Amino acid sequence: MKFLKKISNSTYPLIMKIAKLTRSGNSIHENKNQKDAPENFYSLTGVLNNGEEISFEKFKGKNVLIVNLASQCGYTPQYAELEKLHQQKKDIIILGFPSNNFGGQEPASDAEIAEFCKLNYGVTFPLFKKNDVTGKNKQLVYTWLTDKNKNGWNDLEPKWNFYKYIVDANGNLSKIFPSSVSPQEIF
């Protein structure tokens, strides 16, 4: 794993620079019409990687950044950026959702993912149980994020690991950022 981290950390700046220069994958989607979510975000629940179920009601009144994660991806160094944001901006809740939907880049178990994140990036933000973020078996929160009948405007699923969704303090999906946008550029 240390070898993978070293490769990932050394190629990440190049990946981000190329994305900026070519504007490849930099499409940011916004709730421009300020549509309210027909289905309440705060009614959702999720299962943390330790098996504990939590209600999203506890995030009411806060901006929430939801990110699908993978430990063997070129964007994996964003774990460090997400943790930095988590430490610096206490008014933003970061929720990490590991998945193996893209390129098989998260083959690890929940326990292995938690250990990897803690050892390599010092992650302290909540990590949820590894599960799908695309397709018919996706997690409830990703069903809400990708169904305009639930969130008010968006039907797009994540296209790769480290897609970022912002739910505002009122529980409305406000923006979607692709993998190539650094978490540090969002807030």
Q: Is position 6 within any domain?
A: yes
Sign of CA dihedral 93, 106, 151, 136: negative
Q: Is position 76 within any domain?
A: yes
Structure tokens at 136: 């018919």
Per the residue annotation, which of 66, 73, 95, 166 is the catalytic one? 73
Q: In the chain, helix, strand, coil percent, each to 5?
A: 35, 20, 45
φ/ψ of residue 168, rounded to 5: -75, 175
Instruction: Show the domain range for 152.
Output: 2-182
Q: Is position 145 within any domain?
A: yes
Q: Which residues make Cβ contacts (< 8 Å) with residue 157, sequence separation at least 6?
A: 133, 134, 135, 138, 142, 146
List the end-to-end C-alpha distance of the chain, in Å, as a whole number.
30
Q: Is position 90 within any domain?
A: yes
Q: How many domains does the chain have?
A: 1
DSSP bridge partners of 187:
none
Q: Is position 187 within any domain?
A: no
The CATH code of the domain that includes 55 is 3.40.30.10
Q: How far apart are CA 4 and CA 25, in angstroms?
A: 24
Q: How far apart are CA 67 and CA 86, in angstroms?
A: 13
At 22 the pLDDT is 64
23 sits in the region (left: phi over 0; alpha: psi -120 to 50; else beta) called: left
Q: Is position 169 within any domain?
A: yes
Instruction: Clarify whether 117 is annotated catalytic.
Output: no
At 77 the pLDDT is 95
DSSP bridge partners of 176:
29, 165
| Ranges of residues in the chain whose predicted pLDDT is under 70 | 1-26
Which helix (DSSP H) or strand (DSSP E) does residue 96 occupy?
A: strand 92-98
DSSP bridge partners of 65:
94, 166
